Amino acid sequence: MSVSATQRSQDAQTLARSPLERLLHALNQPLTGLQCSMEVALASLRTVEYYVERLRAGLELTERMRALVEAIREVADGEAEKNEEPEAIEWKTLVREVMDDLRPVAEVNGVRITLDCSTTCSLAAMGARRKLSSLLFRLLESVVSLADRGSALRIEAGMEAGGAADAVWVRIRWYAGLTQAEFSRPELGLLVAQAGWERAGAKWERERTENLETVTVRLSGVSDGREDF
């Protein structure tokens, strides 16, 4: 198996884990690193410079752990939330509203946003408006932070009607910027968003092709009987 094929296999296995599983697994690394660093420092007398260096490294590990614990708490709090009464929400309108709210953030980050809602009829999402809006904003906010400065972030929203069930979907494509740590704050934001969407009954898909990233979210919908707008 080639290196690239091995890496793709490892990425697929990683993405197959639940967000909470990935977060808990990630927390083990800085915890182990901090413990080993302290054990080595106490094994024998060292120079002052060595202890200063170890303290700085320990602070970096602690900061990583804090970010991971915050994400774990957010996921856990979301699981403990009481479910709001679902309603039929005009999907494209919701996507446009969240995109407009996020546009100033994207401009600061030097990222252009384009939206394509080219389907021919309208479909409503079933869910709690405030929750879906929050999840969509968290998803797009994280993507904007991950996107390469000067690139375009493409958002597509539409529906899959007919068959056994109707569904609405949103697809976000972006070109990744500088390589970030697996559990950088934007990546943690994506994990938290994924956990929230899956808790809401949505199907989450993430794909990577070189530096092009794609996230697709599908959620149950219901035909509202109106023409497209």
**Each residue of 24-75: pLDDT tens digit?**
888 888 888 888 888 888 888 888 998 888 899 888 888 888 888 888 888 8
The total number of structural domains that make up the chain: 2
CATH, residue 216: 3.30.565.10
Distance CA 35, CA 112 (A): 44
One domain, residues 62 and 173: no
Structural domain of 58: 3-80
Question: Of the candidates 161, 156, 168, which has an alpha carbon nearest to the alpha carbon of residue 125?
Answer: 168
Predicted confidence at residue 183, as pLDDT, reads 78
Which of 82-86, 120-124, 173-177 has the highest average model confidence (pLDDT)?
173-177
* Structure confidence by residue, pLDDT tens digits, 148-188: 999 999 999 888 766 556 788 899 999 987 766 677 888 89
Distances in Å between the alpha carbon of 77 and those of 23, 36, 94?
14, 31, 24
One domain, residues 101 and 211: yes
Question: Of the candidates 203, 198, 229, which has an alpha carbon nearest to the alpha carbon of residue 216?
Answer: 203
Predicted confidence at residue 112, as pLDDT, reads 93
Predicted confidence at residue 15, as pLDDT, reads 53
One domain, residues 41 and 135: no
Q: Looking at 70-176, which runs of residues are DSSP E strands?
A: 87-90, 112-116, 121-127, 152-160, 167-175
One domain, residues 70 and 98: no
Distance CA 33, CA 60 (A): 11
User: Lowest-pLDDT range, 33-42, 111-120, 196-205, 213-222?
Assistant: 111-120
Which of 56, 80, 104 is the last residue in one of the domains? 80
Distance CA 220, CA 169 (A): 9
Which of 15, 50, 80 is the last residue in one of the domains? 80
Is 170:177 a contact under the CB 8 Å cutoff?
no
One domain, residues 43 and 126: no
One domain, residues 91 and 50: no
One domain, residues 114 and 186: yes
Inter-helix orientation angle 19-43/48-80, to 10°? 160
The more confident residue out of 11 and 209 is: 209
One domain, residues 158 and 188: yes
Predicted confidence at residue 221, as pLDDT, reads 67
Which of 60, 80, 100 is the last residue in one of the domains? 80
Predicted confidence at residue 6, as pLDDT, reads 47
One domain, residues 128 and 186: yes
One domain, residues 154 and 117: yes
One domain, residues 117 and 184: yes
One domain, residues 210 and 112: yes
